[in-house]
Structure 1
């Protein structure tokens, strides 16, 4: 998910806590915990400060920091940060921290980019592609919950935000069920399949590869599949020079489920077709051939 959505998740998590017996320090500690916990896995962006980090950014972003096995570590760090700043010794803060980080890491599984959810034990990039990175349904539900909560007594507002969480979970479940059906239908047609959720709920892009042909298909359980793009991959091309001259290309090749190979008179490159928009993919690495 994007930074704004993760921030909204943190605020909604804070809103869902029953704070009737909390003093001001407890409330501040809880707010810090839910906000930091909702953002801290994205601390991996600091890898861009080094050359190696820029090369490996695709592998490292949403990698180890998003691992399920690192969630307790983040929880401990956030708990002691809150304890240091607000002098609050409450085990519940630790549990809220774990929940905030768990929501961050798990929600990112449903995007096309995916996460290294099983690192360091597996480098497999877990991605479902059933929720867009920016999902306005989440924003709408959170905004509606905030408006409704303003009409409630202060001690009852947390119940509204708990309903919001239930509705958001239901949204993810419904989207994922549809994506599962569409994905399995596509598996019968193509050798390799990837799924990318559209910004409109219930609509998806199926990216299917059969031989050297890649098709990008608009699909939904409510409409007939519509081919939007047909791409030809030069799979027979020798990629060794590309990987040698452009290390980012090798990283992209390892990271993507499959790639489209481009070989022209003056260019050799690869791109991830899941991010193909307006005639190009923003995940594209290439080298210029020497004449």
Structure 2
């Protein structure tokens, strides 16, 4: 999730755990710990893009780190705040809860979170919520704001924060049946269109949990369609995207290609520029036109860097297309959310 949401979640968990004992310190420490797992990005300037793609949401988001981090930060907070007479175990519990809720929430998005690292680099993806969703974040912030303005022993402080946490958690749980319902209708859409897909990947679109998109895989192509909970029928049309994986078939195996295939979970297409440069497009994260424009580019596109002598892929650079969120496009996106155009 976005940094603000993770900060708010950490602060709310910290307040719920120790707010009555240490007051605003619980909020501040919770907010700080809520951002710690994402500090893995500070390594990016010192490592290759290939390595960075595997590190983000790796060790710092794992169960191993929950335990190690809880012990380290719990000990640190206990020593810094001895005058508060809070047992070491309670500081450690707070740190563990903040670190674990951060990682679990990230697993509900579509990026992939390596919860079992270093024993497995399998990226856990529930894919039920967009990385920025105001309906999840606002209750957390509202509860925290009320709590922050009250004395530690004020009952309203405690219950306002708990209410914010409860509402945001309830919303997160509701994204699960929302996804299941969308998947059912999208599968029906594939069947009605006569498209026999081998597997599908379903995700919510930007900033909402109403409009969903699915990627269906066949032997030589991906088919992309959308479904809104306001639609009266399953989707009636799908965009065909050729895989063109053959463009990579003659290239020597390399760590860079292996990392891209692992990261994308196979949901990628390949294109070739006029100068022979190859591009890998991870289709799971949508397009620059929010998936409803005529010529949007995949948001996650990687330009391959090859050894001139051997043709081996030695690295890649992420290309960032210009987002096309103009007034007309946003209006069309809103219309699609409301189910007024079933495309």
TM-score by length of 1: 0.85
Deviation readout 1:45-97 (Å, 9 max, x if unpaired): 12213233x32212110012111232111111111221233235522111111
1:220 is aligned to 2:228: yes
Partner of 1:193: 200
Specify whether residues 234 and 105 from structure 1 end up closer, same or farther in structure 2 by C-alpha distance, changes over 3 A only: same
Partner of 1:284: 301
Q: For 1:261, which of 254, 261, 270 is the aligned residue?
A: 270
Partner of 1:129: 127
CA distance in 1, matches of 2:148, 2:101: 25
CA distance in 2, matches of 1:81, 1:152: 26
Partner of 1:62: 57
Paired residues, number: 283
CA distance in 2, matches of 1:220, 1:121: 38
Deviation readout 1:170-191 (Å, 9 max, x if unpaired): 1111111221343356567421
Deviation readout 1:189-214 (Å, 9 max, x if unpaired): 42132122122222221122222221
Deviates more, 1:4-13 or 1:274-283: 274-283
Contact 2:186 2:227 in 1 (8 A): no
Deviates more, 1:34-43 or 1:280-289: 280-289
For structure 1, the 5+ residue unaligned runs are none
Deviation at 1:35, TM superposition (A): 1.9
Q: For 1:231, which of 235, 241, 251 is the aligned residue?
A: 241
Partner of 1:12: 12
- Name the Cα RMSD after superposition: 2.8
Deviation at 1:119, TM superposition (A): 1.4
For structure 2, the 5+ residue unaligned runs are 191-196, 289-295, 309-343
Q: Which runs of 4+ in 1 moved over 6 A?
A: 150-153
Partner of 1:100: 98
Contact 2:213 2:227 in 1 (8 A): yes
